[in-house]
Homo-oligomer: A and B are copies of this chain.
Amino acid sequence: MKDKQFLMIPGPTPVPQTALIELGKAPLGHRSSEFSTILKETYENLKWLFQTKNHVFIYTSSGTGAMEAALANILNPGDKVLSLIIGNFGERLAKISTTRGANVERMQVNFGQTIDPQILKERLAQDINKEIKVITLTHSETSTGCANPLKELMEIIRGHGAISVVDGVTSVGAMDVKPDEWGIDILISGSQKGFMIPPGLSFLMASERAMKAYEECKYPSFYFDFKAYKKAFESDTTPYTPAVSLISALNETLKIMKNEGLENIFARHKRLALGLRKAIKAMGLKLFVEDDTKASYSITSILPPDGITVADIRKVLKEDFDIVVADGQNDLKGKIFRMGTLGYVCERDVIGAIGALELTLKKLGANIELGNGVKAFLESLIA
């Protein structure tokens, strides 16, 4: 049915009408007082959403741009970086560090697992000379559906003193992240995730410690330059022409989020994700991340039943029900499918999607009793 598509991938996520209408308006001049007013409000609300007193820069780029921004502004060739890797996006931070000439050590777990705080603690205890300058890590790993115990890991990192670069692409605006309280130095995210607008903007919070590391960076990126964005932030502007339409849309979605409230937003994501996990199990399917305490609340990875392919499940969901779910990435391609409950998603969206998944599996010959999944989800909501 035309215009009925439900993007249940980990981004782009569904966009509220209010934001779409902003996007469909003629763009404002980026140096106009009207736009400056919007930007001022957006900056303030971003600080609220990021739960920080630090500046939150808006880059016109993908989330990967913010990843590069994070590292390009603080690393010099030869710097030692410890990258905690639980999936593809953790690996990306390691790769970017390498392209900046850093000496990268990887602490990697099997995908589907998270970093064990004890192992990190032991590794950092060995770093007596504090050679590790930067530690990169992921909160919610979009490629696996795992979420690291960020608060615990940050406590250990803070004890060591390295600069922390945290990928919050699918956690900010969905799961609780407290950068100031937990001591995160750089926290990044992207517009097409919890922020409920299309891709094109990324966000970067930089602490004072991060700004100090920037001062020692020999060749920081010009386009992503921390100092230029800091100065612009303080004058309600941007250093270069930003994607004004996306920022106007963001200003609207941030108001929607403020109205819902942080606690409610986090509770909704938790409720929907844990409920979906119950439904998946009730349908007899297996979760890629078995332990609820290691699961992301933004994205749930599911193994297809024996004899049914991920490709077929995605095809039927799309063709029969206008629902788009994601395949696994790289080595996980064809092994898992991923359902997002990220951003502008409510109970009835997930009820509908679970029902559609049941019908899809039935059509593909799975031995399931219709309704079990939906029942488990409904029950989880009143538990």
Determine whether the beta carbon of A220 is less than 8 Å from that of B99. Answer: yes
B200→A101 contact, CB < 8 A: no
Q: Does A241 contact B (CB under 8 A)?
A: yes
A219 at the interface (CB under 8 A from B): yes
Q: Which residue of B lies closest to A25 (CB)?
A: B20
Which of A146-154, A160-168, A243-251, A257-265 lies at the interface with chain B? A243-251
A12-B25 contact, Cβ under 8 Å, with A198-B243, A200-B246, A242-B62: no
User: Which chain B residues border A61 with CB–CB below 8 Å?
Assistant: 60-61, 65, 223
User: Given the complex of chains A and B, what is the CA–CA distance between A65 and B32 in angstroms?
Assistant: 22
Give the residues in chain B near A219, CB-CB below 8 Å: 77, 99-101
Residue of B nearest to A100 (CB): B219
- Stretch of A2-10, A270-278, A284-292 at the chain-chain interface: A2-10
Chain B residues whose CB sits within 8 angstroms of the CB of A21 once the complex forms: 24
The reply to whether the CB of A48 lies closer than 8 angstroms to some CB of chain B is no
- Is A9 within 8 A of B29, CB to CB? yes
CB-CB under 8 A from A324, the residues of chain B are 29, 32
So how many copies of this chain end up in the complex?
Answer: 2
Within 65-103 of A, Cβ neighbours of B (below 8 Å) are at 65, 67-68, 72, 77, 95-96, 99-101
> A159-190: which have CB < 8 Å to B?
190
Alpha-carbon separation in the docked complex, A225 to B67 (Å): 14
Partner of A20 from B26, B72, B246 at Cβ < 8 Å: B26
Report chain B residues within 8 Å CB of A30: 12, 199
Determine whether the beta carbon of B199 is less than 8 Å from that of A65. no
Q: What residues of chain B lie closer than 8 Å to A20, measured between beta carbons?
A: 24-26
A27 close to chain B: CB less than 8 A: yes
Q: Would A241 and B190 count as touching, CB distance under 8 A?
A: yes
With a cutoff of 8 Å between Cβ atoms, the chain B residues found around residue A15 in the complex are 26-27
Partner of A199, one of B3, B26, B77, B241: B241
Which residue among A5, A221, A241, A243 has the maximum number of chain B CB atoms within 10 Å of its CB? A241
Q: Which of B64, B199, B220, B241 contacts A27 (CB 8 A)?
A: B199
